[in-house]
């Protein structure tokens, strides 16, 4: 998996799960999911990533050490 964040291109977080040919993509607002044939997820792109993930990441960083972090 390759993860790339680019704040110059609109605060985008791009997670390439597998390097395969993209068959189609679905746009779910701030999240774009790209699929290979047979519906296998190949890539996930998050627009405005710092805004969407900011509170989640802050919660994880402030959580006491434990294996599972629950953010409500």
Q: Is residue 56 part of a domain?
A: yes
Give the pLDDT confidence score for residue 11 in this predicted structure.
Answer: 84
Q: Is residue 49 part of a domain?
A: yes
Domain count, the chain: 1
Q: pLDDT tens, position by position, for the chain (72 residues)?
A: 888 887 776 788 899 999 999 999 999 998 999 999 999 999 999 898 888 877 666 666 566 665 554 544
Joined tokens for residue 16: 């390439």
Whether the Cβ atoms of residue 12 and residue 5 lie closer than 8 Å to each other: yes
Q: Is residue 58 part of a domain?
A: yes
Give the pLDDT confidence score for residue 21 in this predicted structure.
Answer: 95
48: containing domain: 2-62
Beta strands in the chain (DSSP E): 2-6, 12-16, 24-28, 31-35, 41-46
Give the pLDDT confidence score for residue 19 in this predicted structure.
Answer: 92
Joined tokens for residue 58: 């802050």
Nearest Cα to 10, choosing from 46, 34, 44? 46
Give the pLDDT confidence score for residue 72 in this predicted structure.
Answer: 46
Question: Alpha carbon 71 to chain centroid distance?
Answer: 17
Q: Is the pTM of this model over 0.75?
A: no
């Amino acid at each position: 998996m390759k993860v790339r964040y680019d704040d110059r291109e609109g605060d985008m977080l791009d997670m390439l799960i597998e390097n395969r040919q993209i068959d189609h993509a679905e746009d779910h607002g701030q999240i774009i999911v790209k699929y290979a044939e047979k519906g296998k997820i190949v890539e996930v792109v998050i627009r405005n990533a710092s805004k969407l993930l900011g509170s989640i990441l802050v919660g994880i960083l402030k959580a006491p050490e434990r294996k599972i972090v629950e953010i409500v």
